[in-house]
Amino acid sequence: MKRITIGTAGHIDHGKTALVKALTGIDPDRLKEEQERGITIDIGFADLTCGDTHFGLIDVPGHERFVKNMLAGAHGIDVVLLIVAADESVMPQTREHFEICRLLEVKSGIVVITKIDLADGELLELVETEIADFVKGSFLESAPVVRVSSRTGAGIEELKRALGRLGATVGARDERAVPRLPIDRVFTIKGFGTVVTGTLISGSILAGDELELLPSAGRRMRARGIQVHGNAVKEARAGERTAINLQGIEVEEIARGQVLAPAARLVTTPMIDVRLHYLASAPRPLRRRARVRLHLGTAEILARVVLIGAAELAPGASTFAQLRLESPTLALPGDHFIIRSYSPSITIGGGIVLDPMPQKHRAREAVPKIETLERLAAADEPGRIGIFVDMAGEYGISDAELAARSGASNETIARVGEDMTRQRRAVIIPGNPPRFLAKAFFDDLLKKARTLIREYHQKAPLDAGMAREEVRERLFARLNPEIFRAVISHGISRGEIVTEKDLLRLSTHRIELSPQEQAAKNHLAELYARAALRPISLDEAITQAGPQLGIDSQRAQRFAQMLINSGELVRIADLVFHQSAIEELKSALRRFKIEHSPRIDVGAFKELTGVSRKYAIPLLEYLDRQRVTRRVGDAREIL
Ligand SMILES: Nc1nc2c(ncn2[C@@H]2O[C@H](COP(=O)(O)OP(=O)(O)OP(=O)(O)O)[C@@H](O)[C@H]2O)c(=O)[nH]1
Ligand SMILES: [Mg+2]
């Protein structure tokens, strides 16, 4: 059976509670004060089945002072019963409640004219005409209008039939989305402990699920038992009035306005970007940074409205805005909200959440911000996820962050991620957790890296390349290290970048020497070739050769490094030898092995090469590493 939640709306004393009682036999006024004063103060609950639909009914107070309570019930309803008393017709809270339903985008409803026993036919006609005018152009324009008297019972059966028909047309809420239960009541039941109730606005909750209370300092608890309209169930589904018996938390720790959600899934936010409609009935233009009461779910939070791209907002106009909250709350894209003026508390507008985790809005960024918000406002859920990936820019965004920002299910996020990578709109950066990075930003990072390396080549044409670490620091310092790795690997795989030791260079980079430079470099090499195993330090060689060649020591140093990079010179500890000298040494050792012995000690080595002990040791250690010799005690075995 389909289960939906329906709410009453209408002016004080118009017979909302009496109608709920007439329909269900349940008196939703449960407070002593309500019974005594004969008015509803807080939301009350009842339920009934009409046709194939089970309705959870929320009865709201009509008194203007309790609109705040009305909102705690109205946020979760699918259908409204707009109640107008025949003897009074449309009154101030009829208007306010109706505006609220419109702002919350309640899908459908029924207009109920109550107290028909107090009005004659002519008056009823007049009231109906007034109502038709009132709902014109709204979601109730072609809604059924039912005349009832809760006193005589007239019209009640007809209303039930109308409800049955309407129930069949209302679409189900999304049961696969992340479950959220905005809490509207908390109490204890003897022998059970803490119980919370609310309208489950999305997803489903199973008995035994681990839940988290938001906002709270990460309070986790288990759903010990679940009831829907007084019956124990294994699972509560989206759209149902739900009561959950919580294990591991006291009543004092919970209040209306908090939300139950799966543990470690969603996060609260201090600001939200929204589409805001300012009611034509608002008394004056809305100023930038106006302080308002934000009603979101069952929560009421003080907030400032930062208008985006406008200095003020005229009554009846709409805009994008950033709501800066005085205390954090849970919000997801698509959530509807209401704003009321700080004092006096009257409903002035409302709208829809577009981005629950925006950057702080700055006036000079208004144009790109508006473009992004327009895209978000027009997007469906997968589209939204794609836009959040784009918005994350070069930082990328993990799937957990996407889940918290979009409220989408894991399956949806995974599917969108696959689609985006297939369409080359995003890349997945491996890591823990993996991150989605918009392809445009990924490509841009690679381009920036190429430009940086190219500039380096221009400045230092004789260098083999730029230190990898320097590239990382200059471009990727604030980014996840895996992003750097992925971007550079991509450049390498495309053959644009070459990595050598800890240097990066463009594959097109060639060290071009002038004839004079080439001559100097050759001279330097010759100097070492002639020195053979007589060690000369690089500094020595440079001072020897430099002045003669007419190049400065820095340049000579570069040439030496180039010769070392190309293998023509070999650096051993702080000594440099020409490759030919090393080859010559290897042959001398081979001859020694044949002519004398497979073993050579340091003394014999010094004699063979003519080097002092100070240089013999590093040379021998080098030969050991090259597996030309192997150390045996103090001597060497020639391999
Ligand atoms: N004659 C007549 N009286 C009615 C009818 N329905 C309600 N009343 C009376 O109207 C008064 C207000 O009814 P409620 O049902 O409490 O009105 P309400 O809209 O719930 O009022 P609030 O919750 O305070 O906004 C009560 O005294 C009811 O007995 C009706 O159909 N006919
Ligand atoms: Mg009432």
Testing ligand 1's pocket by substitution, the residue of 16, 81, 97 carrying the most ligand atoms inside 8 A of its CB is 16
Per-residue pLDDT tens for 479-506?
A: 988 999 999 999 999 999 999 889 999 9
Which pLDDT belongs to residue 549?
65
How far does residue 350's CA lie from ligand 1's centre (Å)?
29
How far does residue 305's CA lie from ligand 1's centre (Å)?
38
Which pLDDT belongs to residue 546?
57
Torsion of CA 497, 498, 501, 503, to 10 degrees: -40
Query: What mean pLDDT is predicted for residues 533-555?
Result: 71
Query: What mean pLDDT is predicted for residues 466-483?
Result: 92
Model confidence band, residue 192 (pLDDT cutoffs 50, 70, 90): confident
Which pLDDT belongs to residue 551?
67
Nearest CA to ligand 1 atom 8: 15
Per-residue pLDDT tens for 229-268?
A: 888 999 999 999 999 999 889 999 999 999 999 999 999 9
The answer to whether 260 and 196 are in contact (CB under 8 A) is: yes
How far does residue 64's CA lie from ligand 2's centre (Å)?
12
Which pLDDT belongs to residue 379?
96
Flag the least confident range among 13-22, 509-518, 599-608.
509-518
**565 to each of 464, 521, 569, 570, how far by Cα in Å?**
8, 13, 8, 9
Nearest to 200 by CA among 144, 259, 156: 259
Does the pLDDT value for residue 451 go beyond 70? Answer: yes
Does the pLDDT value for residue 123 go beyond 90? Answer: yes
Per-residue pLDDT tens for 586-607?
A: 999 999 999 998 999 989 998 8
Residue 263 burial by Cβ neighbours in a 10 Å radius (0-12, 13-18, 19+): middle
The ligand with the least distance to the CA atom of 61 is: 1
Does the pLDDT value for residue 423 go beyond 90? Answer: yes
For the CA of 18, the closest atom of ligand 1 is 15
Query: What mean pLDDT is predicted for residues 84-95?
Result: 97
In angstroms, the CA 505 to CA 498 distance is 5
Task: Provide the percentage of residues in the chain whose pLDDT is more than 90.
Answer: 74
Report residue 262 as tokens: 């799966």
Provide the CA 398 distance to its chain's centre, in angstroms.
Answer: 8
The ligand with the least distance to the CA atom of 149 is: 1
User: Which residues have CB under 8 Å from 135's CB, separation 6+?
Assistant: 82, 98, 111, 141, 143
Query: What mean pLDDT is predicted for residues 180-197?
Result: 92
For the CA of 62, the closest atom of ligand 1 is 25
Nearest CA to ligand 1 atom 7: 15
Testing ligand 1's pocket by substitution, the residue of 8, 11, 17 carrying the most ligand atoms inside 8 A of its CB is 17
Nearest to 345 by CA among 103, 96, 104: 96
How far does residue 351's CA lie from ligand 2's centre (Å)?
27
Residues at CB less than 6 angstroms from ligand 1: 12-18, 38-40, 61-63, 114-115, 117-118, 149-151
Nearest CA to ligand 1 atom 13: 15
Per-residue 3-state assignment (H helix, E strand, C coil) for 26-77: CCCCCCHHHHHHCCCCCCEEEEEEECCEEEEEEECCCCHHHHHHHHHHHCCC
| Residue 308 falls in which region: left (phi positive, over 0), alpha (psi -120 to 50) or beta | beta
Higher-pLDDT residue of 37, 542: 37
Which pLDDT belongs to residue 547?
62
Does the pLDDT value for residue 550 go beyond 70? Answer: no
Query: What mean pLDDT is predicted for residues 62-86?
Result: 96
Torsion of CA 146, 149, 154, 155, to 10 degrees: 20
Which pLDDT belongs to residue 172?
80
Does the pLDDT value for residue 421 go beyond 60? Answer: yes
Instruction: Provide the whole-model pTM.
Output: 0.81
Does the pLDDT value for residue 554 go beyond 90? Answer: no
Nearest CA to ligand 1 atom 32: 115
For the CA of 14, the closest atom of ligand 1 is 19
The pairing of beta strand 79-85 with beta strand 2-10:
parallel
Task: Provide the percentage of residues in the chain whose pLDDT is more than 70.
Answer: 99
How far does residue 366's CA lie from ligand 1's centre (Å)?
50
Does the pLDDT value for residue 608 go beyond 90? Answer: no
Model confidence band, residue 280 (pLDDT cutoffs 50, 70, 90): very high
Testing ligand 1's pocket by substitution, the residue of 11, 14, 96, 112 carrying the most ligand atoms inside 8 A of its CB is 14
In angstroms, the CA 151 to CA 161 distance is 19
How far does residue 8's CA lie from ligand 2's centre (Å)?
9
Q: Do you know the residue count of the chain?
A: 639
Residue with tokens 């471009």: 475
Which pLDDT belongs to residue 96?
96
Report residue 293 as tokens: 């009461």
How far does residue 113's CA lie from ligand 2's centre (Å)?
15
The ligand with the least distance to the CA atom of 87 is: 1
Flag the least confident range among 78-82, 112-116, 527-531.
527-531
In the predicted model, what is the mean pLDDT of the chain? 92
How far does residue 124's CA lie from ligand 1's centre (Å)?
17
Does the pLDDT value for residue 437 go beyond 80? Answer: yes
Which pLDDT belongs to residue 364?
86
Model confidence band, residue 201 (pLDDT cutoffs 50, 70, 90): very high
Report residue 541 as tokens: 């060689």
Nearest CA to ligand 1 atom 5: 115
Nearest CA to ligand 1 atom 11: 13
Which pLDDT belongs to residue 541?
73
**20 to each of 143, 150, 265, 285, 377, how far by Cα in Å?**
19, 9, 37, 39, 37
Q: Rounded to a whole number, what is the distance in angstroms from the first to the last CA of the chain?
A: 87
Does the pLDDT value for residue 510 go beyond 90? Answer: no
Per-residue pLDDT tens for 393-403?
A: 999 999 999 99
Model confidence band, residue 548 (pLDDT cutoffs 50, 70, 90): low
How far does residue 17's CA lie from ligand 2's centre (Å)?
4
Does the pLDDT value for residue 624 go beyond 70? Answer: yes
How far does residue 128's CA lie from ligand 1's centre (Å)?
19
Per-residue DSSP letter, 374 = H
In angstroms, the CA 400 to CA 433 distance is 8
In angstroms, the CA 150 to CA 112 distance is 11
